[in-house]
């Protein structure tokens, strides 16, 4: 649920550290309970704007969760099948974001190649005009 809160931009509560250090720590349990109590929770995941995931949020997901060997649907299933589904959703958002970046790069790369080819043709044309100008004068 913590990862879903992060992707949805939901801030954690600041609660006293349980170790008794006197410091405040971030805790997503309160916001997660609120989110789970929302009747439209599943619908909000379905309607999530996956095309515009803020780079800072997806970076947190990749650094903290995707790289974590325990953040795997098969392992999480042992605790809860619902948690397994949410883990799959987070992983899917990461994969989708990576594929969009890759696709965008490929499209941009092909556009650059096309513009480069056209520019080369224009330079050749300009060169021929210049040569013709020097022969006439």
Asked if the structure places residue 82 within a domain, the reply is no
Residue whose entry in the numeric block shows the structure tokens 């969009």: 100
Query: Which has the minimum average pLDDT: 15-19, 95-99, 130-134?
Result: 130-134
What residue numbers bound the domain in which 25 lies? 1-48
Residue whose entry in the numeric block shows the structure tokens 């809160």: 5
**What integer best gives the mean pLDDT of the chain?**
86
Asked if the structure places residue 55 within a domain, the reply is no
CB 38, CB 92: distance < 8 Å: no
DSSP run (H or E) holding 15: strand 13-16
Query: 10 versus 119: which is more confidently predicted?
Result: 10
Q: Give me the number of domains the chain comprises.
A: 1
pLDDT tens digits, 65-77: 999 999 999 999 9
Q: What are phi and psi of 24, to 5 degrees?
A: -95, 140
Token output for 13 = 């509560």
Asked if the structure places residue 17 within a domain, the reply is yes
Asked if the structure places residue 122 within a domain, the reply is no
Statement: residue 50 has pLDDT above 70 = yes
At residue 106, the pLDDT reads 58
Asked if the structure places residue 123 within a domain, the reply is no
Averaged pLDDT for residues 66-92? 95
The share of the chain scoring above pLDDT 90, in percent, equals 64
């Amino acid at each position: 649920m913590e990862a879903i809160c992060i992707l949805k931009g939901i801030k954690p509560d600041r609660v006293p550290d349980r170790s008794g250090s006197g410091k405040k720590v971030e805790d997503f349990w309160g916001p997660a309970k609120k989110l789970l109590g929302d009747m439209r929770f599943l619908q909000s995941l379905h309607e999530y704007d996956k095309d515009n995931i803020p780079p800072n949020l997806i970076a947190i997901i990749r650094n903290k969760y995707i790289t974590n060997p325990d953040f795997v649907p098969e392992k999480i299933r042992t605790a809860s099948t619902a948690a397994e589904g949410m883990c799959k959703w987070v992983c899917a958002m990461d994969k989708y974001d990576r594929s969009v970046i890759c696709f965008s790069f490929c499209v941009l790369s092909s556009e650059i190649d096309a513009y480069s080819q056209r520019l080369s043709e224009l330079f050749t044309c300009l060169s021929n005009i210049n040569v013709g100008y020097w022969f006439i004068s």
